[in-house]
Amino acid sequence: MEKTYSVIGIGSITLIFGLIFHLQGQSVIGPESSFMYANPNWVTYGIEIMIVGTIIIGIGIISEILKIKKAKNRQ
């Protein structure tokens, strides 16, 4: 598996975890016994984690684009 696809995969997983944390903080999903449930701090943490995941995905996409351009320049 190529490195760029691994980076995109890690970013996607991070984004999904951030979404889950955000929704638990808003009392949308998760058990009521969870320390994250209905906790406004986790709404913010979830948003921050989603932003980090999006940045990681962006880095993976940009590195794939640069790799394609580099391969075209060699031809």
Confidence band, pLDDT 50/70/90 cuts, at residue 40: very high
The pTM of the full predicted model, rounded to 2 decimals, is 0.88
Q: How far is CA 1 from CA 5, 19, 40, 45, in A?
A: 7, 26, 38, 31
Domain residues for 59?
A: 3-74
pLDDT of residue 1: 54
Residue whose C-alpha is closest to residue 37's, from 49, 48, 23, 55: 23
- 69 or 13, greater pLDDT: 13
- The total of structural domains in the chain comes to 1
pLDDT of residue 49: 99
At residue 22, φ and ψ (nearest 5 deg) are -60, -45
All residues at 6 or more sequence positions from 16 whose CB lies less than 8 Å from its CB, including other chains: 53
